[in-house]
Structure formats: C-alpha cells, structure tokens
Amino acid sequence: MEKIKIAVAKGDGIGPEIMDAVIRIFEAANVPLAYSYIEMGKSIYNKGFGTGMTPEAKETVESLGILFKGPMETPKGKGVKSINVTARKTWSTFANRRHFRSLNGVDTVFSKAGIPIDLTIIRENIEGTYGGIEHMLSQDVALCRRFITRPGSIQVHRFAFEMAKKEGFKKVTCAHKANIMKLTDGLFLETFYEVAKEYPEIEANDIIVDDLAMKLVSKPQSFDVVVLTNLQGDIMSDLCAGLVGGLGFAPSANIGDNISIFEAVHGTAPDITGKNIANPTALLLSGFMMLRHLGYMEHANTIENALLTTLEEGNHTGDFGDKTKASLNTTQFADAIIANLGKVPSTGAARQFIATHATHKAPSKPRTQKMMATAARKPETIVGIDLFFESNQTAEILGPQLQKFEHAGAKLIMISNRGTQVWPTGSAFTECVDQYRARFEVKEGESTLADMLQLAQNVGAELFVSSVEVLRNFDGKPAYSLAQGQ
Ligand code: NAI
C-alpha cells in the first residue's frame, strides 16, 4: 500500500512525549503513513518567526494538506497571536470537529449512572471573536468585533450535515444566542435552516446556547451533533470534555477543503512536561479522526479496539482511572496499547465508520485567494450613520451639542451608552462610561456615503470620534440593530 505523507509538528511541553507515543503505536500497527517533521511552536517564535512557524514548515503543510500536531505554547505578553488559531485561520480549516464519548475504564458521573455519551460538536473555526479584531475606543473601553458571515456559516453547517449523513447521525442541532444577537447569531441560525432543507432525512432543530449548557449536563444523551459559532463552540466543547472524563480524552479535527489539522484539545501541560507521565489518549483519538479522514478505516478500528481493550483492562495514566491500581507512564501506556493490537474489547468493538474520503489528494495551490460565493445582492440604501465618540459629558448636554451637526437631512435619533439608549429618553439609573454612540438617520435613499462621512468629519472636529458604522437597509429592511430601549 502506498504511504500517504503527512506533516507532523510535535509541539511544545508534553507535545513531543505524546506524539512519539502515538507515532510508535501507528508504526506498530503498520499504518501506511510517512512523516515529514516540521518546526512550529514556541522555539520558533523565540528564533524570531512571528507566526510561530518557519517558511519551510508552512510550505510543507500547504503541499501535503494534512498536519498532525501536538499542543503549542503561545508566548505571553509579546503581542504575538496564538499559532493554533493562526494555523486554523490561515489554512481555512472552517470546521472544528470534536467527538466525545464514554470510554470503558474512564469513570465519570454518567458512566456510573449507566448513561452512555456519544456526541459530536462542530464548531465554526475561523470567524466570531477569533478574528481577534480588538480596539480600545477610549482608555476605559475595549471593543472586539465579532464577524459572522453567510458563506462561512453555510460552509460549517454543510459540513455538519454532510458528516451526519455519511456517518449515520440522525439529528443536527444548531446552538446560538439569536434571541440577543439577532443579526450575527440570527444569520448563523437562518443559514442553518437553509442548509437543513437540503438534508430532509436528518432532523434539524435549534437551541439557545445557555439552555444547551444546562441540558448537556442533565441529558447529554439527547444530542447527536451540535453545531455552534466559534467561541460558544469552544466553551461548550470543553464542557463536553468534562462529561467524558476531562481533557485527556478530547480529540479534535480542524477540517478545511484543502488542508486539515488534527490535534488534541488540551494544551502543553507545563506542570507535567518532561516527566513521561502525560496521557496520550486525546492525541491518539485525534489520530483516529485523521486516519478515518484519510480513508484508513481498518487501521483506525484496529488501534481503537486496542485502546479500548487497554482501558477495559484498567490500565491508566496518572490523570484518570482506578487509583488503587498503579498508573502507567506514557511509554508504558503506549506499550500496553501496542500489546493489545488485534484484540477486541469484551464490551464491544469500536464503532464502524464509513469511508467519507475514497483517497486523500494533496492540495494543488490555488493561483489566488478564493472569494467565497455570496447571496444574490438585494437593493441597498443608506439610512444613517452611527458615530462612536468619547466624552465625559452627560447625555443631556451631548444631545443638543450633537443636534447642531444635523446635516444633509440627517436627524439625531438617539444617543446610547454601552448599547442602552440614554437620549432623548432613558433612565437616570443607567450608569455610563466615556464612550457614546450617536445615531443620525436620513430618509431612505436621500443621502450619499459622502454626506454621512462629512457628518462624521464635522462631529469629529468637536468630539473624538473613534469609529463609525454606516446604517443601511437591505431590501427595505434595517441591516443594523436597535439600541436597548430605542
Ligand atoms: P493544559 O491543557 O495544558 O493543562 C490543563 C491541565 O490539564 C494541567 O493540569 C495539565 O497537566 C492537564 N493535562 C493536559 N493535558 C494532559 C494530558 N495529555 N495528560 C495528563 N494531563 C494533562 O492547559 P493550560 O495549562 O491552560 O495551557 C498550557 C499551555 O498550552 C498554554 O501556553 C496554552 O496557550 C497552550 N494551549 C495550547 C493548545 C493547543 O496547542 N491546541 C490548546 C490549549 C492550550
């Protein structure tokens, strides 16, 4: 069998210890893989590569299309971005898939209650607050922009439904906060149901994310596949890791159309680094996701059965398991799995997956960056502008001051502070910070962008305007939210 070549970055902290253990298991099971080791992580930042990877490492990942990685440390306080997030975003791995299930030998509240858990979280992996677009609007006020896009949301929803269809899941649930964030989470939810229509055989429903948090800890067995936006997905997937025994059992796959990254959810575990006691299971479980992604179903099943047998026998590393039985170190745990290759656990073999990729194809480099398809354009009209400005004055004083700037038919409609209307009406109990928003509105279609920017410039001559947003209607409907109380 021809070997598929993949890029491997061992990572920092416990990364090399657990990666060596996993590759040793793969080799013992004759997995037809060839490994191209690349340099990424803390030591590379320290050598002066701001992205945390060498140009050769980037080239290798882009030509092979698969990266198997250990955890990596982002140096603190140096203004550098996380290499993990940068890698996911640069290579457009838009879906983060995390699979959580009960394992024999790993005791949890649910396993003791006889409730099996088998659920998959699909987290949008590129957008949301992970754009990391943040600004201080004043010395007291920080702002983070949260992008949710139609093409990005459709991509991740389609991945969730395709996966559900191919792997026999019956239900996909979209979790969101569209009751509060009507435009961003609203768009995520709207596109979910648009995509769901293409998969009538799969049940589609939605849930508010806080309700999901409660139901995951009270009835986790009622979920199959849950799809979420980036930050909400991050938090909920760590919650799910807790349900099945902790971070040592949480694998993840970052899937893109061209490049995919497989890694454990946990970090570099600096407290146990170099002691050869780390649990390699999460990385091994990520490895199973990778093998199945590459079409190596049999190899994944064989090693998974060996892992399940090893756990069933009561073998464990120090972070879990029966404390009355001595724990194994990382090397011994990997040896135990290797010794069990070919065995099937008495409580049932690994779930059989259907091959979703016939063969792996290394990506061919696109000539230019791809512009993702957008919906057919609707008529757009300018209806006003929001000006964000800094001031220590009260809204009572600011209202008449700003009205002086009414320009080209624009009327000052309201002033808000932290999203709550404080002028022309409001409550004396609303506590304010030194960052306001003034909303000027014009009659639909009667003003130009230049008129609105002129208004911003006029106000800016008197007040410190730190940012502006033009208000528009799409197809006659407001493409912006109202202030609380407006
Ligand atoms: P962590 O996941 O490294 O450690 C949290 C706790 O879990 C520690 O007590 C650790 O000993 C334990 N733990 C984690 N993995 C384990 C394993 N395989 N076996 C046994 N015990 C394990 O999280 P922390 O301490 O917040 O982060 C440490 C570093 O890792 C930071 O620099 C962070 O940026 C980085 N990190 C990297 C990630 C990645 O590369 N994908 C993900 C999360 C954090």
Q: How far is the CA of 87 from the centre of ligand 1 (A)?
A: 18
pTM attached to this predicted model? 0.91
Q: What are the distances in angstroms from CA 99 to CA 120, 124, 468?
A: 4, 15, 42
Q: How far is the CA of 272 from the centre of ligand 1 (A)?
A: 10
CA 423-428-429 angle, to 5 degrees, is 120
Position 131 scores a pLDDT of 83
**Sequence-ordered alpha helix ranges (H) in 219-296:** 230-243, 281-293
Query: Residue 202: pLDDT band by 50, 70, 90 thresholds?
Result: very high
Residue pLDDT, tens place only, 386-435: 999 999 999 999 999 999 999 879 999 999 999 999 999 999 999 999 99
Ligand 1 nearest-atom number relative to CA 246: 7
Position 130 scores a pLDDT of 87
CB 254 less than 6 A from any atom of ligand 1:
no
Residue pLDDT, tens place only, 335-346: 999 999 999 998
For residue 25, pLDDT beyond 70 = yes
Query: Residue 352: pLDDT band by 50, 70, 90 thresholds?
Result: confident
Domain boundaries, the chain: 4-339, 380-478
Q: How many Cβ atoms sit within 10 Å of the Cβ of residue 85?
A: 16
Position 322 scores a pLDDT of 84
Position 357 scores a pLDDT of 56
Sign of CA dihedral 458, 463, 468, 470: negative
Q: How far is the CA of 44 from the centre of ligand 1 (A)?
A: 19
- Distance between CA 31 and CA 12 in Å, rounded? 25
HSE-CB for 440 with a 13 A CA cutoff: 29
Q: How far is the CA of 165 from the centre of ligand 1 (A)?
A: 33
Least trusted range by pLDDT, from 106-115, 308-317, 457-466: 106-115
CB 234 less than 6 A from any atom of ligand 1:
no
Tokens linked to 55: 């140009």
CB 64 less than 6 A from any atom of ligand 1:
no
Q: How far is the CA of 71 from the centre of ligand 1 (A)?
A: 8
Query: Residue 47: pLDDT band by 50, 70, 90 thresholds?
Result: confident
First to last CA, the chain: 67
Query: Residue 466: pLDDT band by 50, 70, 90 thresholds?
Result: very high
Classify domain 380-478 at the CATH class level. Answer: alpha beta
206, 189 contact by CB (below 8 A): yes
For residue 172, pLDDT beyond 70 = yes
CB 131 less than 6 A from any atom of ligand 1:
no
For residue 60, pLDDT beyond 70 = yes
Q: How far is the CA of 320 from the centre of ligand 1 (A)?
A: 15
For residue 359, pLDDT beyond 80 = no
Ligand 1 nearest-atom number relative to CA 11: 40
For residue 33, pLDDT beyond 60 = yes
Q: What are the distances in angstroms from CA 8 to CA 63, 271, 276, 326?
A: 13, 24, 20, 32
Residue pLDDT, tens place only, 72-83: 998 776 567 788
Q: Please choose, from the candidates 34, 239, 16, 225, the residue with its C-alpha nearest in 3D space to the C-alpha of residue 120.
A: 225
For residue 356, pLDDT beyond 80 = no
HSE-CB for 259 with a 13 A CA cutoff: 22
Position 367 scores a pLDDT of 87
- How much is the CA Rg of the chain, to the nearest whole Å? 26
Ligand 1 nearest-atom number relative to CA 278: 19
Does 3.40.718.10 match the CATH number of domain 4-339? yes
Q: Is 210 helix (H, G, I), strand (E, B) or coil?
A: helix
